[in-house]
Structure 1
Amino acid sequence: MFAEEEWTDTVPVNEQAHSVVKADPFSGKEKELLEKDDEYQMDRSSALRSRMEKRLESARFRYINELLYTSTSGEAKRMFKQDPDAIRIYHRGYTEQVKHWPANPVDSIISYIRKRSSSLVIADFGCGDCKIAQSVKNKVHCFDLAPVCGLVTACDMANVPLGDSTVDIAVFCLSLMGTNLSDFLAEANRVLVMGGVLKIAEVASRFDNIRQFIGALSNLGFKVVSKDTDNSHFYSFEFLKTHNVPKDVNKIRLELKPCLYKKR
């Protein structure tokens, strides 16, 4: 009898202790507020990490861009080969820059090609995302230092895998990058048929002397047909191939200022 009374007395005490241990010290409302605070801290941490990643990628884009303008095309090609991720970072940063432009000069070149015969063969030097090839019916050879899409042939712009006089229109749209510009345009001359068209669009701020630029192109075998230098952002030119490029290309002085993007 005594044992039974002791048992019955003990059980409620143990149950009470157990219930005290398991009790939640916060009310339902307090708990909800704590959970929301945890979610806020996680979201804030995620947003901060995202901003830092974007800043680092933007800084790397500007670094790659500067290298492209201050190196030879051969050096730039080796850079992309050693760091395959660099081309993705560069073109993603470039795409962000395009959003701030009043217009994209490649659209004018696409409009020009569409008005010509679809049988004309195009060579797009520095094609990027291959917008020209994806927008016209013509055969378009897409060349760039590294591929962004499956249409690109990765190569040095000074040495593209095309035969002599096999192209009707050669395009350089914001792609005269590198310290060996004369080599690029000499290569365009080589692949163009006599009377073929050279289309150039470049950032306006890169030009110090338009007459000197056109004179250098004349020495490389091209005659200016038209130019638009009234646009505040981009200059565009159309040339015709009038004679083959001379052998002493290195003696032809052709320089454009680098286009360096500022931190936004």
Structure 2
Amino acid sequence: MNQAEGVRSRKRKRRNNHRKSETSSTKLSTTTIATPAANVTVKQPPSTSNVIKSSSKPSSFLEKMKAKLSGGHFRMINEKLYTCSGDEALNYFKEDPSLFNTYHTGYQEQMSRWPEQPVNIIMKWLKDHSSSLVVADFGCGDARLAKGVKNKVFSIDLVSNDPSVIACDMSKTPLDSSSIDVTVFCLSLMGTNFPSFLQEAHRVLKTNGWLLIAEVKSRFDPNNGGADPECFSEAICDLGFTPVSKDFSNKMFILLYFRKKPKNNSSKEIKWPELKPCLYKRR
């Protein structure tokens, strides 16, 4: 081999080595996708893991803010219901029926934190008695009681999207006088005119009919601004009921059981204690 041929051979080797290097580099940055027609080379897209990580924080923040706003809206409506009359509350929800759904969504969230639900105890009480008893559930909410027992239940509340619920002021129901065996107030003595709700329950109850009340325990704690439960029970008796039993064992709520007297001979004015509103702390 002469000198000229040696130079040409070395140049060819350098060119071949350079081509191999370019081919190897291309394989690292591309992917070959086989198709029936040809081989198409496509560049790999950049990793999206960093994008997902960065976008998850704003999403979580927005969800927390929405939950906080929703909770604040619930507390506002809750305070309104405890500090106005039943007729005012009815008009309040008529102006904006969506507020009723907002309230009950927040209410269910609060109830989910309770270790035991009072409506379940009332369900059990009804199941332990005759299924022929006709029930009126005052302030029924989502009508859970009616869905959980075999009894005929008249579900009553201010507003409802459920056609089975009677929407009305609870002091003026369309129920016939002396037509009901059991009246229920499960966390629903909320208005400033709550005595008129109980008077309506007395009107629709049959003689010896039952009045069942479940209420937040703090509302009956006289040491912290609540009503004296004995004074409350006495007012119920003056309305025309006989006390049967009471249950203060639960940490969150109390249960009171009464029966309607055959006749109410008392004509004295009833002194109703003021029930402490159940207001949730602002966060």
**TM-score, with length taken from structure 1:** 0.83
Which of 37-46 and 130-139 deviates more? 37-46
Instruction: Report deviation, 1:40.
Output: 3.2
Partner of residue 106, structure 2: 93
CA 1:245/1:261 → structure 2, altered by over 3 Å: closer, same or farther?
A: farther
Alignment of 1:209-224 (within 5 A): 209-224=228-243
Alignment check: 8 A CA contact 1:118 1:138 kept: yes
- 1:166–1:193 contact (8 Å) kept in structure 2: yes
For 1:176-187, list aligned pairs within 5 A. Answer: 176-187=189-200
Q: Which residue does 1:17 correspond to in 2?
A: none
Deviates more, 1:122-131 or 1:144-153: 144-153
* 2:46 aligned to which of 21, 26, 32: 32
- Please give the alpha-carbon distance, in whole angstroms, between the structure 2 residues aligned to 1:126 and 1:97: 17
Q: Which amino acid aligns with 2:235?
A: A
Q: Secondary structure at the match of 2:123?
A: helix
CA separation of 1:31 and 1:99: change in aligned 2, threshold 3 A = same
Change in 2 beyond 3 A, CA 1:148/1:173: farther
Contact 1:129 1:148 in 2 (8 A): no
Unaligned runs of 5+ in 1: 1-26
Q: Against the structure 1 CA distance between its residues 244 and 141, is the aligned structure 2 distance closer, same or farther, given a 3 Å change threshold?
A: farther
Q: Give the TM-score normalised by the residue count of structure 2.
A: 0.78
Would the aligned equivalents of 1:128 and 1:148 in 2 still touch at CA under 8 Å?
no
Evaluate the alpha carbon distance shift between residue 243 and residue 72 of structure 1 in structure 2; reply closer, same or farther with a 3 A threshold: farther
- Structure 1 CA distance for aligned equivalents of residues 63 and 134 of structure 2: 44
Matches within 5 A, 1:186-201: 186-201=199-214
Distance 1:201 1:170, change over 3 A: same
Q: Which moved more, 1:44-53 or 1:192-201?
A: 44-53
How many aligned residue pairs are there?
A: 237
What is the identity percentage for the equivalent residue pairs of Structure 1 and Structure 2? 45
Over the residues paired in the alignment, what is the CA RMSD in angstroms? Answer: 2.3
Q: How does 1:109-258 map to 2 (within 5 A)?
A: 109-207=122-220, 208=222, 209-243=228-262, 252-258=271-277
Closer, same or farther in 2 for the Cα pair 1:30/1:262, shift >3 Å? farther
Q: Which of 1 and 2 has greater Rg? A: 2
- Preserved contact between residue 73 and residue 102 of structure 2 (Cα < 8 Å): yes
1:44 and 1:83 map into 2 onto residues whose CA distance is 34
> Given that residues 248 and 254 in structure 2 are in contact (C-alpha distance below 8 angstroms), is that contact kept between their aligned partners in structure 1?
yes
Tell me which amino acid in the other structure corresponds to 1:76.
Answer: A
